[in-house]
Amino acid sequence: MKDCIYQFSVKTITGEQINLQQYQQQVMLIVNTASDCGFTEQYKGLESVYQKFKGEQMVVLGFPCNQFGAQEKGSDLEISQFCTKNYAVSFPLFSKIEVNGENAEPLFKYLKQQAPGLLGSQKIKWNFTKFLVDREGNVLKRYASVTKPEAIANDIEQLLSQ
């Protein structure tokens, strides 16, 4: 298999190991999330984008992370309950991970290599950094925490129309 996102397996928030190949031929928006952050409100936008495009083979994948200001302290169960109760999140959530450092989730190491940040930085600077992946598993673009999910909708729409 060529070097792409489908080579990775990740653990869902309920503890099940899945391969990202199951999202083949779908546009993916992959995000590191947190429940107690100034950007936590973006869960609403992420869910809105997911609802708008999920029927067109698009998925949002949320990866909780506690590396920035300890803003994701809860267990996977607590995170799942928080997201469902407060933001009616229905897109897939995954087990809490690290996105930087030697214990960084391999998927995020790959994402950072494929779509570096400002000045080529491979570090993720904060929660709610987003990566857009096309139907072939190629990482196309990285969006900063401040970029609202709704602002990415046009890029998603373009990919879906190809």
CA 110/CA 76 separation, integer angstroms: 23
Can you point out the beta strands (E) in 1-136? 9-11, 17-19, 27-33, 58-64, 130-133
Query: Residue 132: its pLDDT value, please?
Result: 97
Q: What pLDDT score does 2 carry?
A: 53
- Is there a catalytic annotation at residue 37? yes
Segment-wise mean pLDDT, segments of 10 residues, the chain, 162 residues: 82 96 96 93 96 96 95 93 96 96 95 86 91 95 95 95 88
Query: Token pair for residue 105?
Result: 């989730």
Would the pTM count as exceeding 0.85? yes
For the chain, first and last CA: distance in Å?
23
Label the pairing between strands 139-143 and 58-64.
Answer: unpaired
Give the domain ranges of the chain: 38-160
Please give the structure tokens belonging to residue 72. 């994701």
CA distance 55 to 59: 9
Query: Of the residues 4, 37, 65, 83, which is catalytic?
Result: 37
Half-sphere exposure of residue 151: CA atoms within 13 angstroms, side-chain side = 9
Confidence at residue 116, expressed as pLDDT on a 0 to 100 scale: 84
CA angle 141, 137, 91 (to 5 degrees): 80
CATH superfamily assigned to domain 38-160: Glutaredoxin (3.40.30.10)
The per-residue pLDDT for 1 is: 42
Cα 69 to Cα 74: distance, rounded to the nearest angstrom: 13
